[in-house]
Amino acid sequence: MIPYRYISFFLSTFFIFHDSASRAIPPLAMIGGMVKKNCSDPLDHGDFCWSDQLQANFLGVFYYGYCLQMLSTYLAARAGFNTCVRLALFVCAVIQLTTPIMISFSPVLAIVVQGCRGFVSGLFITMNFECARKWGLNNEGKFVISFCGMMNYFGTGAGPFIAGLLAESVGWVYAYYLSGGVFLVVFLIQCALVPDDPVDARFMSSKERGMFVEKKQREDLEPANKTTISLKSLFQRRFLYCFSIYQICRNFLYYSVLTMLPFYLNEMFGKDTEFLAFYSLAMCLSLAFSAFIWGSILPCVDQRMSWFKSRIFILTVPMIIRGACFAVIPFIKSIEGCIALLVLHNVMEATVYSGGLMTVSFELDPAHSKVVVGVHNGVGQTAGFIAPLVSAAFTSVDETRPDYWEVRGRRWRNFLLLNSGVATVAVASVFVAVAWRRSEWRKHPSLCFESKEEEDKVKETENGIVIKNVAAGCC
């Protein structure tokens, strides 16, 4: 029989998959008939005539709300996380289902509401950490987080294809209707099957329920394991500032690969839109499968070195390799070589969910990881706005210049080398975090064992319920 807690694991990661896929609807809907390509032509098949500025606002406003997830997460942690996530699912369902109507009624209203959707969507990734803490037994939490990364990347790759297919075959409005319908169904399932307290779950076996009862009893004995957190104590965590810098740098490279490098491949190698569509899908799939692979490799790494060395290694070495890839790409003259380096870059990027920043945030303090992640991930999302602006500033060239392509190539090279420097800043932030307050860098006691003998011991109750299992040491 499949453990009941896997229902919660699946739903918390499916939120992320569907939300990531839904973000692809606005641009694909615009291309598929929502907005006229030529407003002066009455025969153009687009439904609405929007200016470039209006289109840009509609596309970008989600992320303005999304980067405020540090606020939405903190409020949810104070008010009740599960209740707020259910509310977020319902809000997303209503917004997606009514967006076509709002667009025809008032584009400005539609833009404001999409920003609200971004704000509540900030709860979905952090919900994964609350799920890992509350529903995970023994060492399951970090695997839930790895699966979160995999679903995030899968959604980013699958979304454009699903939305594009619907927009071309049955109309752009149905992409919104499908997205809203799925949000609504998931909301109902979440309300019916996932209670606030795992002990209260219906249809759970007595054996599994007993495991959660034992877990709850252990947590009640730990006064430091409170699930609420004050702003004062939050900002006293010095590693949080360094993690925020790391997250900005990490996302700067991530968004460069997904959003800016297609322009580079188009200009330097003449690759068309069809090729770039498959490029985007391939990049996201490489991220998704790499997150799964790293999640499988991590236990082996933990067995061969201390927790501290393992996490520092995974935070720094993959980032160094990512920076090296960016440094080499401008000197590669073949598209095959560039793609190979970008895939290698993505393999290293996937460590952020498997042993990297997200996993470390959970392991340092499971009870408060949802808020910590909400802060540094929210701050890090600003890289989504910064990367395009920096790219434009570095690569912009007057098209009338006779040496346009020569200068353009040189400026692209400078932008790619800048990414390499950004990776160096990320690595430096990790060592600053360690040097600043080494005492903060310890795996939380609830996730490790006090001795090797205890690690190897599997204690069972009279019902045969496993209380503790084999796991990695603390440091």
**What is the DSSP code string of 334-380?**
SHHHHHHHHHHHHHHHGGGTTTSHHHHHHHH-GGGHHHHHHHHHHHH
Q: Global pTM?
A: 0.77
Nearest residue to 114 via CA among 210, 27, 233: 27
One of 2.60.120.620, 1.20.1250.20, 3.60.15.10, 1.10.760.10 is the CATH number of 241-442, namely 1.20.1250.20
CA trace torsion 71, 75, 77, 83 (10° rounding): -120
Q: Report how far apart, in Å, the C-alpha atoms of 277 and of each of 2, 19, 158, 164, 304 are.
A: 38, 20, 11, 11, 41
Distance in angstroms (rounded) separating the CA atoms of residues 208 and 216: 13
Q: What letter represents residue 331's amino acid?
A: F
Which pLDDT score is estimated for 453? 43
Distance in angstroms (rounded) separating the CA atoms of residues 411 and 394: 6
Residue with tokens 């209707």: 177
Widest pairwise Cα distance in the chain = 83
Distance in angstroms (rounded) separating the CA atoms of residues 2 and 387: 44
Q: At CA 88, angle to CA 84 and CA 94, rounded to 5?
A: 145
Distance in angstroms (rounded) separating the CA atoms of residues 362 and 372: 9
- What SS3 state is found at 460? strand
34-61 burial: b if 16+ Cβ within 10 Å, else e: bbbeeeeeeeeebbeebeeebbebbebb
Q: At what angle do helices 261-269 and 404-436 cross, to 10 degrees?
A: 150
The domain segmentation of the chain, as residue ranges, is 1-196, 241-442
Which pLDDT score is estimated for 43? 66
Nearest residue to 371 via CA among 227, 198, 251: 227
Interacting residues of 106 by C-beta distance below 8 A, sequence separation 6+:
none
Q: Report how far apart, in Å, the C-alpha atoms of 251 and of each of 115, 139, 325, 349, 357 are.
A: 20, 27, 15, 9, 12
Interacting residues of 220 by C-beta distance below 8 A, sequence separation 6+:
none
Helices (H) and strands (E) in the chain, counts: 20, 0
Architecture of domain 1-196 in this structure: Up-down Bundle (1.20)
Which pLDDT score is estimated for 349? 94
Distance in angstroms (rounded) separating the CA atoms of residues 328 and 451: 46
Q: Report how far apart, in Å, the C-alpha atoms of 58 and of each of 55, 102, 104 are.
A: 5, 12, 14
Assigned token pair, 453: 């003998």
Interacting residues of 332 by C-beta distance below 8 A, sequence separation 6+:
338, 341
pLDDT in tens, the chain (475 residues): 788 999 999 999 999 999 999 987 887 787 778 887 777 776 667 788 888 778 778 877 888 888 888 889 888 888 888 899 999 999 999 999 999 999 988 889 999 999 999 999 999 998 998 898 889 887 788 888 888 888 988 888 888 778 888 887 888 899 999 999 999 999 999 999 999 889 888 888 889 888 888 888 877 655 444 556 677 777 788 889 999 999 999 999 998 887 788 888 888 888 886 787 778 788 888 998 998 898 888 888 888 888 999 999 999 999 999 999 999 999 998 999 999 999 999 999 999 988 899 999 998 888 888 889 989 998 998 887 788 888 888 888 887 888 988 998 999 999 999 999 999 999 999 999 998 888 888 888 877 744 444 444 433 433 344 434 434 445 6
Nearest residue to 320 via CA among 298, 347, 348, 343: 348
